[in-house]
Structures are given as C-alpha cells and as structure tokens.
Copies of this chain bind each other. A is one copy, B any other.
Amino acid sequence: MDEFSVIQNYFQSLTAPREDVVFGIGDDCACVEVPLGQQLLISTDTLIAGVHFPLATTPHAIGYKAAMVNMSDLAAMGGMPCWASLALTMPEVNTTWLAQFAQGLKDALNPYQVALIGGDTTRGPLSVTLTLHGLIPEGKALRRKNAKPQDKIFVSDGLGGASLALRSLKEPLLKPDHQKILLEKLNYPKAEVELGVLLRSYASSAIDISDGLAADLEHICLASGVGAMLLEEDIPLHPLLKTYLGEDALSLALQGGDDYALCFTIPPENLEAFQTQLTSLNKLCYCIGTIEKKPGLRLKTRDHTVKTCRLKGYTHF
C-alpha cells in the first residue's frame, strides 16, 4: 500500500466535516478559517515508541494518547481544539495496526468535533507527531506567567497513577485488576477541555502536568516570578498509590509525569465564584497550596515542618 492509499483508506474520512475547514486532506496544504475575535492556539507533541509509550502499547492507545496530550496542552490555556495535523512514521504498512491507530485517534478527536485536516505519512521508526490547532477568544489564553502571591494552587485530579503504571511495567508490583486500572490511566489520559474553558474566567495561570507536579508548578513559579507553598495533606494521590507505595507515594505524586491533570492558580477574589461554577460542571478540583512571593517550591508536611522541594520532573534528554 502506498502513502496515498494509507491516507485515503484510514485518514481521509476519519473525522466529521466542520464548516470552518475550507479544505483538508488531499491538497498541498489544509485551509481553515479563524473567526473574528478569536486567536489561534497551536500545540505540537511527539510520541516516540519506547520513550513516550511502552513498546507493548496498543495502536488504539497510541492514536488516542497522541491526540489527548495535545488537547491537554490546549486545555491548559483555555482553548477549544479544532483541527489536527498528523505526522505518522511507521516501519511498515500494517493494515490491522493502522485501523486500530486510526480508531484511537478518532475516539479522542470526535467528542470535541476536531477535524483531522492533513499531515504526512512516512517510513521509519514508529513515532507520532500531532499538531493541534484550537481557538481562544482574543486575549483570554491562560498563561504560566500571571500567578500572584496569595493565589490558591489547584490540581484537577489525583496524581501519580500514570507513573505507578509505568513503574509496574518494569517490576511486577500490582495485582492484575489494579494494573489494568492504572494502565488505562497511563494510556488513556483525559484532557480537561471543559475545565480549561471555565478557567478562562477565573484562573491567573495554568499548565498541564506532563512532567510532574513539582516540575510543572515550577514552570508557573519561574514564569510568574513567584514561589509556592504546598500542603502535604492536601495533595491528592491516586487511590492506589498509598496501597502500593506507602511513604513513597507523595514523592511519586510530586515527581511522576504523564498525569495530564491541570495545575492552575485562582486569585482570592475569584475563589467563591470559581467553586460555584466547578460544582455546576460536576467536577472536583483540589486546592493544594498557595502562591508566595518568595521564589522556590516548599512543602508543609503533616507535622507542620516546611521542606524545600527538590525538583526531578521528567526531562527528555
């Protein structure tokens, strides 16, 4: 099967048509329309086999995750995802693999009516680069840089589950049903798109936790010129972390990547309104600490001593 057949058979009609797509797959470029008053957000993430997902990951999960990690970047800025370009590199054309990969991609993109508009398929070691385009009303993008002292720090989910799953692939650690739950967490992250849209109106900064809470919160602190105090007892752990790791659970929750929850800051004057809206979204978020003027990341333990956090997020080299 040549490149053109791969595109035609698996990707051409993958997603539903959108009115703002002037034309998509099948020309030298795709062409889309950005409505007046909206700005364009662009996110690119590459997943390499054996680096960003275990070699045994199903093609369905690879397709799903490639879309979701980018949607998570868009969600962190408050954007609505619209159009995706896919650069897929495969060692060979395996039609079973392709069908499942395409289905995974579709299952991630369809709930948000994101259109696959183009890309490139090439021969080489397996890797997936997705560039996702989204929209945000002018000036409303949530950045890392506007957190202020007294802002409350939140995360949108229990942490460390994906890291525990990764660890369990290297050493037999988990009961089979627990492993299944955690692999689902690792392979099928959920981008917090609706939460991101809500945060446009209330948050001062936001980031998605791909490299670990400590490392990603540090990005906010550095960009904002502030520091943070976290409360140990308020940091939500994935329920299975305590079961398997005991005292080490917190360290994994702080340093483990791949969770794709959002970490964001809410100024004191917005807290009440934000909590009300959160309830109407039927979404639970966790307040884990406070932004402070003093740079650095600190942790107040259960016995009220304050420790400086050493950062060890995921770095790619």
Is A223 close to B, CB under 8 A?
Answer: yes
Is A237 close to B, CB under 8 A?
Answer: no
With A6-B317, A27-B144 in contact, is A42–B32 under 8 Å at CB? yes
Q: CB-defined interface of A77-98 with B at 8 Å, one 1/0 digit per residue? A: 1010001011101001100000
Copies of this chain, tallied across the complex: 2
- In this complex, what residue of B is CB-closest to A143? B27
- Interface pair A141/B31, CB less than 8 Å apart: yes
- Interface pair A41/B31, CB less than 8 Å apart: yes
Q: Which residues of B contact A3 (CB under 8 A)?
A: 315-317
With A28-B207, A33-B40 in contact, is A46–B129 under 8 Å at CB? yes
Q: CA–CA, A121 to B315, complex, Å?
A: 10
Is A44 close to B, CB under 8 A?
Answer: yes
- In this complex, what residue of B is CB-closest to A38? B34
Measured CB to CB, the closest approach of chain B to A207, in angstroms, equals 6
The residue that A136 contacts in the complex, of B31, B87, B93, B124, with Cβ under 8 A, is B31
- Interface pair A118/B316, CB less than 8 Å apart: no
- Interface pair B46/A122, CB less than 8 Å apart: yes
Q: For this complex, into which size category does the number of interface residues on chain A fall?
A: 35 or more
The residue that A29 contacts in the complex, of B31, B73, B125, B223, with Cβ under 8 A, is B73
- Interface pair A41/B30, CB less than 8 Å apart: yes
With A27-B77, A29-B134, A32-B40 in contact, is A46–B316 under 8 Å at CB? no
The residue that A40 contacts in the complex, of B6, B40, B123, with Cβ under 8 A, is B40
Q: Which residues of B contact A73 (CB under 8 A)?
A: 28-29
Q: CB-defined interface of A282-317 with B at 8 Å, one 1/0 digit per residue? A: 000000000000000000000000000000000111
Q: CA–CA, A316 to B4, complex, Å?
A: 9
Q: CA–CA, A4 to B29, complex, Å?
A: 30
Measured CB to CB, the closest approach of chain B to A64, in angstroms, equals 18
Q: CA–CA, A122 to B89, complex, Å?
A: 14
The residue that A31 contacts in the complex, of B2, B39, B316, with Cβ under 8 A, is B39
Q: CB-defined interface of A99-125 with B at 8 Å, one 1/0 digit per residue? A: 000000000000000000111111111
Is A43 close to B, CB under 8 A?
Answer: yes
Measured CB to CB, the closest approach of chain B to A256, in angstroms, equals 17
- Interface pair A46/B143, CB less than 8 Å apart: no
Q: Which residues of B contact A118 (CB under 8 A)?
A: 42-44
Is A56 close to B, CB under 8 A?
Answer: no
Which residues of A come within 8 Å of B, CB atoms?
A: 1-4, 6, 22-23, 26-34, 36, 39-46, 48-52, 73-74, 76-77, 79, 83, 85-87, 89, 92-93, 117-125, 127, 129, 131, 133-134, 136, 138, 141, 143-145, 206-208, 223, 315-317
